[in-house]
């Protein structure tokens, strides 16, 4: 070998020896500094680890919890909570927020006492913080406001009982638009310090980004003024991190590779990406504090995948020194914002309607699954009455209670439940839970009313002997107790309970099989009543659905509704008796007659025998005007029927009309093609 080559070989050999002489043990381990701190004068990036866990949507609430039906969606909330809790134990500086108590309750029931003690330490230290704290993240457009309060109260009571904590922050990140009721009743009135969400109209967001008005003071009630307001933050994008910073095990964001013994070392590159994203958000945010929602739907099933990267970013970004990053929560972020003493823009109305792009207004869900919406509303009112009666009688330690209905109603307020945007099998699951809850509450109502009725009729306390049945299928003219009892010559006792705080005058209708009936009040006085014949159409519907529900045709055939007026005291009940009469007694209610009208030369049908008359057109059966002869008022009315045709979208704009989005393809009127018969 020529001498000139030797130095190069020696130098190369030395280099190899030096490289091989470094201890891998010394160079691999890095202790990351994740100590939480806010640095004045710097941009502080508050990293908020979270998982948005829908309480039913594509899968049922239980399937989401235990990981069933994963062919639809690979989601298992049980894995999320197991994994997150383990990751929090590993580093006291890590934090996580959790929202949906319906899932947390399921998980908590399965934990050992030793595990519960350790988790309570996480909660007390602030590592695990309950945010929002309701059983679900409720919709804000389609539920009744009382249902919103009830489901939130149920979750907060659970947190208070188990952890002695009270949530401080509202976290409505996914509902499809936001109501001022949320700002007032479930913000300022509830005592939240702040409220955060993601979905607002895309044009509104663009304007707020430009004007730095994504964070506002939201005044939910103009009449109540400042007492109804709450600090509200709107995320600059969705409720996920900036692009390139999602770290579920299969996500595509590049992780930090900081092991010098491995290829693709990229610490500075990723630090630069982090700082660039932070500066971009700081440019649209007031103060030096910005929040990154580090998570999205059903994330943290392998929590270390997220926390490992956040540990590294906090460590290396803070070493870099240009900005400051820290583990945080919305509560910590809110306190930091308050400390800046900045004046915020004022918001005074709703964030409705919500559109995420042109021709995509999310108002379709206002009417999606109307039957389910009605079922929720009816059972909500029933739950209110059942709770009151349960209180009046006193809850039995081992008997039926209202808890199952409370849980079912709470879950049904989820923004993919009563909204009507869930899959069909999920809607059926919600309805089944409500039905089970109703059956249990029905026993509470029956036993409580029987107890109260017996207590009123006797001065002695005694066990209830009266058995009350309820008729949930009155909408198909079906009530076996009223039909069977009267047909066999017995009397029917009817109790009407009023759950509201004021006296009510109502008209009650009960199906009966005989026209020989009389209605009396609790003093035995006969009161005015009226028999209304059931039409053939009603009877066909009745027969069809009774067979569907019961699997057989009813033994009795209802012929009439018996209708009568009742007066019910506030938070109380009234008793009425429907009895059969003999033909020789000569007493029976007025029986309405049914008349059929065809088109005539007059072409007008007049209805009403008193001072108020309604006039209909005979050819179409539509109300045309009404006349009040007492005060000589005549008013004209016009009825028309129409429908919207749904848009299927185009190649250029594929947005179609559907459960979420209302996008009509035109409005079309419906005109009668043939003469119709009018029944009065």
State pLDDT tens for residues 306-316.
Answer: 999 999 999 99
Distance CA 534, CA 525 (A): 27
| Cβ atoms < 10 Å from Cβ of 109 | 7
Distance CA 257, CA 537 (A): 73
Name the 3-class secondary structure at 305.
helix
Distance CA 251, CA 308 (A): 14
Note the pLDDT of residue 462.
46
Note the pLDDT of residue 459.
47
| Angle subtended by helix axes 145-163 and 101-109, to nearest 10 | 30
Distance CA 132, CA 187 (A): 10
Distance CA 52, CA 152 (A): 17
2-20: pLDDT as tens digits: 555 555 555 444 443 344 4
Partners of 195 in the β-ladder: 170, 232
Name the 3-class secondary structure at 330.
helix
Distance CA 152, CA 437 (A): 18
Burial class for 623, CB neighbours closer than 10 Å (0-12, 13-18, 19+) = middle
For residue 680, the Cα-to-chain-centroid distance in whole angstroms is 41
Distance CA 394, CA 397 (A): 9
Which DSSP string do the residues of 68-80 spell out, in sequence order? --TTT----HHHH
Q: Token pair of 427, please?
A: 């809607």
Distance CA 95, CA 73 (A): 27
Note the pLDDT of residue 24.
43
Note the pLDDT of residue 413.
98
Note the pLDDT of residue 25.
45
> 296 with 52: CB under 8 angstroms?
yes
pTM of the shown model: 0.91
Note the pLDDT of residue 640.
87
Distance CA 282, CA 215 (A): 12
| Angle subtended by helix axes 424-457 and 370-393, to nearest 10 | 30
**Per residue, what are the HEC states of 401-460?**
CCHHHHHHHHHHCECCCCCCCCCHHHHHHHHHHHHHHHHHHHHHHHHHHHHHHHHHHCCC
Partners of 294 in the β-ladder: 49
Burial class for 505, CB neighbours closer than 10 Å (0-12, 13-18, 19+) = exposed
Q: Give the residue among 415, 336, 491 at the shortest CA–CA distance from 136.
A: 415
Note the pLDDT of residue 608.
85
Q: Are strands 44-49 and 324-327 parallel, antiparallel or unpaired?
A: parallel
Partners of 518 in the β-ladder: 579
> 492 with 485: CB under 8 angstroms?
yes
Q: How far is CA 477 from CA 229, 520, 542, 607, in A?
A: 48, 22, 6, 25
Would you call the peptide bond into 220 cis, given omega within 30 degrees of 0 as the criterion? no
Parts of the chain with a pLDDT under 70: 1-28, 457-466, 488, 583-587, 598-602, 675
Distance CA 409, CA 54 (A): 15
Q: Give the residue among 31, 390, 343 at the shortest CA–CA distance from 212.
A: 343
Q: In order of start, what are the domains of the chain with their CATH numbers? A: 44-132+167-361 (3.20.110.10), 367-452 (1.20.1270.50), 474-591 (2.60.40.1180), 604-671 (no CATH)
């Amino acid at each position: 070998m020529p001498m000139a080559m030797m130095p190069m070989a020696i130098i190369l050999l030395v280099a190899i020896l030096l490289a091989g002489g470094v201890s891998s043990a010394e160079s691999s381990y890095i202790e990351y500094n994740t100590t939480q701190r806010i640095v004045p004068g710097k941009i502080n990036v508050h990293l908020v680890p979270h998982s948005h866990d829908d309480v039913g949507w594509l899968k049922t609430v239980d399937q989401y919890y235990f990981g069933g039906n994963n062919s639809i969606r690979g989601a298992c909330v049980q894995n999320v909570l197991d994994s997150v809790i383990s990751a929090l134990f590993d580093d006291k500086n890590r934090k996580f927020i959790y929202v949906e108590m319906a899932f947390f309750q399921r998980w908590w029931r399965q934990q050992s006492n030793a595990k519960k003690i350790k988790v309570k330490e996480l909660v007390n230290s602030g590592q695990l913080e309950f945010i929002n704290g309701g059983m679900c993240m409720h919709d804000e457009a389609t539920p009744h406001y009382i249902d919103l309060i009830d489901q939130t109260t149920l979750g907060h009571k659970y947190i208070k009982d188990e952890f002695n904590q009270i949530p401080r922050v509202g976290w409505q990140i996914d509902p499809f638009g936001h109501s001022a009721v949320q700002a007032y009743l479930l913000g300022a009135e509830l005592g939240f310090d702040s409220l955060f969400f993601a979905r607002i109209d895309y044009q509104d967001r663009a304007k707020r980004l430009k004007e730095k008005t994504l964070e506002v003071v939201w005044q939910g009630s103009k009449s109540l003024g400042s007492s109804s307001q709450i600090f509200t933050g709107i995320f600059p994008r969705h409720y996920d991190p900036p692009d390139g910073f999602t770290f579920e095990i299969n996500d595509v964001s590049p992780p930090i590779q900081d092991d010098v013994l491995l290829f693709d070392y990229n610490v500075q590159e990723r630090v630069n990406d982090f700082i660039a994203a932070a500066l971009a958000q700081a440019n649209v945010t007031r103060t030096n504090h910005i929040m990154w929602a580090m998570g999205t739907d059903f994330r943290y099933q392998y929590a270390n995948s997220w926390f490992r990267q956040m540990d590294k970013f906090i460590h290396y970004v803070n070493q870099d020194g240009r900005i400051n990053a820290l583990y945080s929560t919305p509560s910590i972020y809110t306190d930091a914002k308050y400390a800046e003493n900045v004046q915020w823009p004022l918001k005074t109305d709703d964030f409705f309607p919500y559109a995420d792009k042109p021709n995509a207004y999310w108002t379709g869900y206002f009417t999606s699954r109307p039957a389910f919406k009605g079922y929720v509303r009816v059972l909500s009112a029933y739950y209110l009455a059942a709770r009151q009666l349960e209180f009046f009688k006193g809850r039995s330690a081992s008997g039926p209670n209202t808890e199952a209905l409370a849980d079912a109603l709470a879950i049904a307020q989820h923004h993919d439940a009563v909204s009507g945007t869930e899959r069909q099998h999920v809607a059926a699951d919600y309805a089944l839970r409500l039905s089970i809850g109703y059956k249990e509450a029905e026993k509470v109502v029956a036993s409580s009313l029987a107890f109260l009725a017996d207590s009123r009729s006797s001065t002695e306390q005694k066990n209830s002997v009266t058995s009350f049945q309820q008729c949930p299928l009155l909408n198909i003219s079906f009530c076996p107790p009223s039909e069977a009892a009267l047909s066999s010559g017995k009397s029917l006792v009817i109790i009407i309970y009023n759950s509201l705080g004021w006296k009510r005058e109502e008209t009650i209708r009960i199906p009966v099989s005989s026209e020989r009936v009389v209605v009396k009040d609790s003093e035995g006085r006969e009161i005015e009543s009226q028999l209304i014949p059931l039409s053939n159409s009603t009877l066909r519907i009745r027969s069809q659905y009774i067979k569907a529900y019961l699997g057989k045709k009813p033994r009795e055939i209802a012929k009439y509704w018996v209708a009568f007026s009742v007066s019910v005291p506030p938070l109380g009940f009234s008793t009425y008796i429907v009895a059969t009469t003999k033909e020789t007694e000569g007493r029976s209610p007025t029986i309405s007659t049914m008349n059929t009208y065809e088109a005539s030369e007059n072409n007008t049908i007049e209805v009403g025998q008193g001072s108020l008359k309604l006039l209909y057109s005979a050819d179409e059966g539509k109300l045309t005007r009404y006349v009040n002869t007492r005060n000589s008022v005549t008013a004209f009315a016009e009825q028309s029927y129409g429908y919207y045709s749904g848009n299927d979208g185009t190649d250029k704009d594929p947005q179609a009309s559907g459960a979420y989005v209302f996008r009509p393809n035109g409005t079309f009127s419906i005109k009668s093609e043939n003469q119709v018969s009018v029944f009065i």
